Amino acid sequence: MNWNSITFDWNQARAFLVTAEEGSLSAAARALGLTQPTLSRQVAALEAALGVTLFERVSKSLVLTRAGVELAEHVRAMGEAASRISLAASGQSQQVEGLVTISATDLMAAYVLPDILNSLREKAPGIEIKVLCTNSLSDLRRREADIAIRHVEPDHPDLFARKLREAPARIFGASAYLRTFDRPLTAKDAPDLDFIGFDNNEELIGYLRAFGLDVSEANIRLSSPSGIVAWEYVRRGFGLSIMADEIAARSPDIEPAFSDVEPIRFPIWLVTHRELHTSRRIRTVFDHLAEGLLSSEPGKIPGRD
Distance, CA of 56 to CA of 11 (rounded, Å): 21
Nearest to 16 by CA among 45, 37, 51: 45
Residues linked to residue 102 through DSSP beta bridges, in sequence order? 131, 147
Same domain, 214 and 239: yes
Residue 254 located in a structural domain: yes
Q: Which of 61, 89, 117 is the last residue of a domain?
A: 89
Q: Which residues neighbour 151 within 8 Å (Cβ) at sequence distance 6 or greater?
A: 266, 267, 268, 269
Residue 300 located in a structural domain: no
Same domain, 147 and 172: no
Q: Is the pLDDT of residue 18 over 70?
A: yes
- Split into its structural domains, the chain has a count of 3
Q: What is the domain extent for residue 149? A: 98-163+268-295
Please list the alpha-helical segments (H only) found in 136-278. 138-141, 175-179, 201-210, 227-235, 245-248
Same domain, 190 and 245: yes
Residue 253 located in a structural domain: yes
Same domain, 282 and 255: no
Q: Which of 89, 114, 146 is the last residue of a domain?
A: 89
Same domain, 146 and 170: no
Same domain, 136 and 276: yes
Distance, CA of 305 to CA of 229 (rounded, Å): 28
Same domain, 11 and 79: yes
Specify whether the CB–CB gap between 296 and 246 falls below 8 A. yes
Residue 305 located in a structural domain: no
Residue 302 located in a structural domain: no
Residue 301 located in a structural domain: no
Residue 209: CATH number of its domain: 3.40.190.10
Task: Count other Cβ atoms within 10 Å, centred on residue 51.
Answer: 8
Residue 7 located in a structural domain: yes
pLDDT, tens only, 105-133:
999 999 999 999 999 988 888 899 999 88
Same domain, 104 and 156: yes
Q: What is the pLDDT of residue 137?
A: 57
pLDDT, tens only, 50-92:
888 888 877 667 888 888 888 888 888 887 777 666 545 544 4
Residue 303 located in a structural domain: no
Specify whether the CB–CB gap between 246 and 127 falls below 8 A. no
Q: What is the pLDDT of residue 305?
A: 41
Same domain, 259 and 276: no
CA dist 298 to 2, 35, 170, 256, 293, Å? Answer: 57, 52, 12, 14, 11
Same domain, 106 and 68: no
CA dist 74 to 21, 81, 89, 220, Å? Answer: 13, 11, 23, 48
Q: Which of 45, 68, 89 is the last residue of a domain?
A: 89
pLDDT, tens only, 138-183:
556 566 788 999 888 887 777 888 999 999 999 999 999 999 998 8
pLDDT, tens only, 221-237:
999 999 999 999 999 99
Residues linked to residue 220 through DSSP beta bridges, in sequence order? 195
**Mean of pLDDT over the chain:** 84
